[in-house]
A and B are shown apart, each in its own frame.
Chain A
Amino acid sequence: MSRNTVAGWSFILPNFLGFALLTLLPVVVLFYVAFTNWNVFGVAEWTGTANFRRMWDDSSFWTALRNTVYYAVFHIPLTLAAALGLALLLNRKLRGVRFFRTIAFFPYITSIVAIAVVWNQLFSPEYGPINALLGAVGVDNPPGWTASATWSMPAVIIVGTWRYMGYYMLLFLAGLQTIPAQLYEAAETDGASPWQRFVHVTLPGLRTTTFFVTVLLTIESFKVFDLILVMTGGGPGQSTLVLSQYIYQKGFEENQFGYASAVSIVLFGICFGITVIQFMVNKRRNS
């Protein structure tokens, strides 16, 4: 072994050991446990594909999957639009722009529990200011928000979008700064309207950033957990129960670690599959 190889390994090893021990090994174990019946104590009993077959007849699993997709389908485009809108607005040379950028980023660094408490009070059907406002503008029957099985998911999506838009705005801002100013000048000289400049200069210039943001947002949306756990706990009923919470419930509350691991694999498969498709679409578009 050459001296350089030894040096190289010595740099990689500490990090790799940490990764192997804390990430790789648990993931490998997860794949094994998914095919067993295991309640943490004692030996895991090998049950083959029983956990996956059980999922097929488990209406709660399908409810959780449906709710996860519901959240993702609305949360992704809404956050994308809000983040891009904010980035365009705050990319100008305005007085106090830094202050507004900080404000927009603020929800992302605020404690999730504080967010849940405040938003739940805002959403309170009887005493909340949101419904008071809706009442003031003539809405006779304002929604029940987190207290209603129909409106709980929209409420969570609104808060989710509000929380994450600042972070993705920052990524879009970085992307916007890489677009050469000459392109805008040239477009303006050619008589392009602001909308045409946005469609033909800004959007193509942001393609890499948009792709990156979409991939991150997709994974984040499918894995949503803490926000829903503290805002609604999955309720009322099962109206906001999502896959990651279902995994937690089966694993840590009911001690069915085999089944919880199997559901985790399905969630992993969904995230992985969608990301691969996004990469393929992006590659085709680029070529």
Chain B
Amino acid sequence: MKRAIPAVISAATALTLVLAGCGGGDEPVDPNAPVTITLAGWSLASTPEFKTLADGFKATHPNVTVELKEYAPGNDYDTQMITDLAAGTAPDVYVMKNLKNFYTYQSGGQLLDVSDAASGLGSAPGLASYQVDGKAYAVPYRQDSWVLFYNKDLFAKAKVTPPDGSWTWDDYTDAAKRLHTGLKGAGSNATGAYQHTFQSTVQGFALAQTPNADLLSGDFGFLKPYYERSLDLQAAGAQPTFGTAKTNKLTYQAQFGKQQSAMLLMGTWYVATLLNQRTSGDADKFQWGIAPAPQFDKSTTGTSATPVTFGDPTGLGINPKISKSKTAAAKDFLKYAAGPEAGKALAGIGITPAQVTDAVTTSLFGLDGVPQDELSKFAYSKHTIKPENPVSKHTAGLQNLLNETHSAILSDSKGVDEELSKAQTRAKNEVLNQ
């Protein structure tokens, strides 16, 4: 009997709690009640964007605290996040670091429908990538695009005319070769161009610019001219070979920052990196500029046209396991992060936000050390951005396969035709049939 009493009390308490829980949903939630939402980020000490977003949101929503949770950088971020989501321990709001894995999260039911938060964002580039069957499952807060960084001092040294926004790929190749000759003549060891070992440096542009190119078709013929030009540049010595870049672990930051190469094709995130490099002494002081990426043909060149480039958005999604009382605050945070206020704040630390407005351009070009010429502003703010990773269940598999093809072609072991034809057969038999 003595034992029965505590048991009855426990059961009654449990029942009360359950009933209280059931009734809680009907009570109005106080919009000003203090709420804490957790947000995933990586390398928090060296990646200030998450803190900028958290602090900026707190300023307009004093009752909401955004608590940062640190994840692994690089590719390990997704591995760690997928594990945490599967285990039910992931944060309330998490970053779609890579569009390649959006399909896994969305099809796996790991993203809340955030169409209401996305509805006010208008035509933000990158938003479409997160829409499935008319519903939005994440919103973009960053949208980098690939441009051409160039070293004005090295161009002058080699006596080569710098880019003016009218370049096609043939003009770029030609300039890289002339830079190589000119720099050599002037006693410099710098190469004309540096294309990092990323597959994006070749495949991203080919996919974005070639009319009717479709990654998911499994037809990769559109890559051929882009690879032939890269191989041509390597053979001419106008850019370091793929083997050298790999075996010597060359970094694009050092290649451009230490004036080892006169041109660098890279995403706009490099603006912030280069500024930091200069402050820390990891980069030399030199005159530099940004030009639009070279184009497929003349139709998209010149400052009166809109150049075509590529870049994946970085998005924020909500974990469906978030408690109901926090959902509204999390959606408000998404609206803020993808909106104009956060855009200005992000531009103020050198990050390119989802929507590049005039205010964003002014904010970014107001940073100390950013070039002030009109072409740089044009290249930064005006372009059509195509996704590098179209959302599909096959994207991760195709990108892995094409990464192997990339290293096979650029290491010059077999011919371009042979490797592309092998990639097409493999895509058909190993990825697209799954």
Measured in the bound complex, the distance between the Cα atoms of B320 and A42 in whole Å is 13
Decide: A58 near B110, CB < 8 A? Known: A238-B404, A255-B104. no
Instruction: Name the distance in Å between B420's Cβ and chain A's nearest Cβ.
Output: 12
Measured in the bound complex, the distance between the Cα atoms of B110 and A42 in whole Å is 10
- Within residues 388 to 403 of chain B, which ones have a CB less than 8 A from any CB in chain A? 396-397, 400
Residue of B nearest to A119 (CB): B247
Please encode chain B, from 241 to 284, with 1 for each CB lying within 8 Å of some chain A CB and 0 for all others: 11110111100000000000000000000000000000000000
Q: Once the chains bind, are A237 and B408 in contact (CB under 8 Å)?
A: yes
Instruction: Name the distance in Å between A134's Cβ and chain B's nearest Cβ.
Output: 15
Give the chain A neighbours of B108 by CB distance below 8 A.
39-42
Which of B33-41, B221-229, B411-419 is the contact stretch? B411-419
Please encode chain A, from 117 to 132, with 1 for each CB lying within 8 Å of some chain B CB and 0 for all others: 1001101111110000
Q: Once the chains bind, are B86 and A128 in contact (CB under 8 Å)?
A: no
Measured in the bound complex, the distance between the Cα atoms of B245 and A121 in whole Å is 10
In the assembled complex, A224 has its CB within 8 A of some CB on chain B: no
Q: Once the chains bind, are A146 and B82 in contact (CB under 8 Å)?
A: no
- Within residues 185 to 209 of chain A, which ones have a CB less than 8 A from any CB in chain B? none
In the assembled complex, B429 has its CB within 8 A of some CB on chain A: yes
Q: Once the chains bind, are B75 and A253 in contact (CB under 8 Å)?
A: yes
Q: Once the chains bind, are A146 and B413 in contact (CB under 8 Å)?
A: no
In the assembled complex, B62 has its CB within 8 A of some CB on chain A: no
Interface size for A (C-beta < 8 A) is 39
Give the chain B neighbours of A125 by CB distance below 8 A.
241, 243-244, 247
Which of A42, A126, A239, A253 lies in contact with B109, CB distance below 8 A? A42
Once A and B bind, how many residue pairs between them come within 8 Å at the CB atom? 109
Measured in the bound complex, the distance between the Cα atoms of B250 and A127 in whole Å is 13
In the assembled complex, B85 has its CB within 8 A of some CB on chain A: yes
Q: Once the chains bind, are B407 and A235 in contact (CB under 8 Å)?
A: yes
Give the chain B neighbours of A13 by CB distance below 8 A.
none
In the assembled complex, A59 has its CB within 8 A of some CB on chain B: yes
Decide: A127 near B244, CB < 8 A? Known: A236-B411, A252-B79. yes
Decide: A147 near B246, CB < 8 A? Known: A39-B104, A40-B108, A60-B426. yes
Give the chain A neighbours of B410 by CB distance below 8 A.
236
Give the chain B neighbours of A235 by CB distance below 8 A.
404, 407-408, 411
Residue of B nearest to A259 (CB): B434
Offer 17 A-B interface pairs, CB within 8 angstroms, sorted by A.
A39-B108, A40-B83, A40-B86, A41-B82, A59-B426, A126-B243, A144-B411, A147-B241, A148-B413, A149-B408, A149-B413, A236-B242, A237-B414, A254-B396, A254-B400, A255-B396, A256-B434
Additional A-B contacts beyond A120-B249, A254-B397 (13; CB < 8 A): A39-B107, A40-B82, A41-B82, A41-B104, A57-B429, A58-B429, A120-B248, A148-B243, A148-B413, A233-B407, A235-B411, A237-B407, A254-B396
Q: Which residues of A contact B (CB under 8 A)?
A: 39-42, 54, 57-60, 117, 120-121, 123-128, 144-150, 233-239, 241, 249, 252-256
